Amino acid sequence: MGNTTSLKLSDELKEKIGKLAQGVAQTPHAYMVDAIAQKVDRDEKRQDFLNAAEKSRAHFQRTGIAYRHEDVWDYVMKLAKGQKARKPKPIRIPKSKR
């Protein structure tokens, strides 16, 4: 188990946590730990997403390689329907339009 951390909560929030925790058969402590863990996980995933987007943008700026929206949409929709689909062909955007 980890170190002890104190949180100052309003009486209103403590009351809400107590009621909600009881409704899901958890102690208020377990409820708060679970809520914090979920928030941390969500924020880590968001940061990973933003980092991947920045890496993708930098790659596009450097190479100009892109894909037409319609081609990607068709590809994804066919895959979602369980159909065979060819990967979209990349296109190169001139530096003047990046």
* pLDDT score at 85: 97
* pLDDT score at 2: 80
pLDDT tier at 98, thresholds 50, 70, 90: confident
- pLDDT tens sequence across 54-86: 999 999 999 999 999 999 999 999 999 999 999
Residue-wise DSSP of the chain? ----------HHHHHHHHHHHHHTT--HHHHHHHHHHHHHHHHHHHHHHHHHHHHHHHHHHHH-EE--HHHHHHHHHHHHTT---PPPPPEE--GGG-
Q: Domain residues of the chain, as ranges?
A: 10-63, 64-98
